[in-house]
Amino acid sequence: MATILDGIKIAAEIKAEVATRVKELATQRIHPGLAAVLAGNHPASEIYVRSKVRTCEQLGIKSEKLSPPDSVTTGEMLELIGGLNEREDIDGILVQLPLPPQVDTKRILLAVSPQKDVDGFHPLNVGYLSTQREGLTPCTPAGVMEILKRSGIEIAGRKAVVLGRSDIVGKPVAMMLINANATVTICHSRTVDLAALTRTADILIAAIGKPAMVTADMIKPGATVIDVGINRVMDKEKVREYFDGDAKRLDDFAAKGSTLVGDVHPQVAQVAGAITPVPGGVGPLTIAMLMANTVKAARMRRGLAVQ
């Protein structure tokens, strides 16, 4: 049975380190600030932003939530972002996606100052990552790397396979693995004989967005499996298939009418050497790394060494 890589514990370690850095900056009269922009009415986005703001408060980071209406235009959003770029008390700008359909998302993300781009989406920061220069990196991929490193998983010289080629997870985590001296293969929806490639992986990163797609026969025995997927399942038969024998999960589904499953089938834990759970794996690291990026941005903007 695989070792469970506890993302909640690792996220707590990172948050504690961030809180210490915030206190150190306070002695220099520097107070990191994060602005969260939430446009329109999206209940899930509201929950995410609320959680981020709450975490800021816990760690001593100043936070500000801006909520333009659902009718906001691209021009109005650009003006708002421009104002945040100019503010000295704001070190990080988080634009919560999705934006309302009439807003040009690419233009908005491009308008965020690279120095304040705590999501790591700006092309300049993407370029810094690919050329191994200091910059702000995407939070979820950075969290994946922290799980591997803090769990003592050897990366250098290992064969890593990444399922998914998104700009948010797949591509950046592949680049981070390359920078850590892994040999990396990126797979996607048009990859031929996917299982033949996944079975070669010492480290498998699943970020393809399909529930339980990665099955036990696709895994090299003893491999480390990082499950980035978060999929809500409401089909009783599917839940029984995924969690056969897991009484606690089945009881939870019976009570709530839904449950979460990653991109990796739970039975993979019987083959893998180490695996992240869903929930409680990669998810908690995303917010922790957002906090770390905000403090990093505060230091970089003032010419201070990055810790």
Q: DSSP letter string over 57-78?
A: HHHT-EEEEE---TT--HHHHH
Question: In a 3-state reduction of DSSP, which class is residue 79?
Answer: helix
pLDDT in tens, 245-297: 899 999 999 999 999 999 999 999 999 999 999 999 999 999 999 999 999 99
Residue pointed to by tokens 């839904």: 258
Cα–Cα distances in Å, from 83 out to 77, 80, 113, 118, 121? 10, 5, 11, 17, 19
CB 232 within 8 A of CB 215: no
Q: Is 119 a catalytic residue?
A: yes
Catalytic residue chosen out of the listed positions 15, 91, 116, 119:
119
pLDDT for residue 41 = 82
Annotated catalytic residue within 15, 96, 220, 227: 96
- Contact in structure between 74 and 102 (CB atoms under 8 Å): yes
pLDDT at 40: 86
pLDDT (0 to 100) of residue 179? 98
Q: What is the per-residue pLDDT for 307?
A: 75
Looking at residue 69, its pLDDT comes to: 95
At 63-74, the pLDDT tens digits run 999 999 999 999
Cα separation of 189 and 210, whole Å? Answer: 11
| pLDDT at site 43 | 84
Q: What is the pLDDT of residues 100-131, one digit of tens each?
A: 999 999 999 999 999 999 999 999 999 999 99
Q: Which pLDDT value is given to residue 19? A: 98
Q: How far is Cα 146 from Cα 152, in angstroms, rounded to an integer?
A: 10
Which of 129, 87, 118, 94 minimizes the C-alpha distance to 108? 94
Between strands 224-227 and 203-206, the pairing is parallel
Question: Mind listing the pLDDT tens digit for each residue in 179-226?
Answer: 999 999 999 999 999 999 999 999 999 999 999 999 999 999 999 999
CB 163 within 8 A of CB 208: yes
Residue 96 among the catalytic residues: yes
Please state, rounded to an integer, the average pLDDT across all residues of the chain: 96
How far apart (Å, rounded) are the C-alpha atoms in residues 265 and 212? Answer: 4
The C-alpha atoms of residue 154 and residue 70 are separated, in whole angstroms, by 46
Helix, coil or strand: residue 163: strand
Instruction: Count CB neighbours of 57 within 10 A.
Output: 11
Could you give the C-alpha distances from 204 to 161, 165, 181, 288, in angstroms and in order?
5, 14, 15, 22
Question: How do residues 82-105 score in pLDDT, each as one tens digit?
Answer: 999 999 999 999 999 999 999 999
Q: Out of 52, 116, 171, 220, which one is annotated catalytic?
A: 52
**DSSP notation for 80-105:** HHHHHHH-TT--EEEEPSPPPTTS-H
Q: What is the pLDDT of residue 44?
A: 82
Average pLDDT over residues 225-248: 94
Q: Is the model's pLDDT at 42 over the cut of 90?
A: no
Alpha carbon of 78 to those of 113, 136, 159, 184, 186: distances in Å?
12, 21, 42, 37, 34
Structural domains of the chain sorted by starting position, each given as residue range(s) with its CATH number in brackets: 28-113 (3.40.50.10860), 139-283 (3.40.50.720)
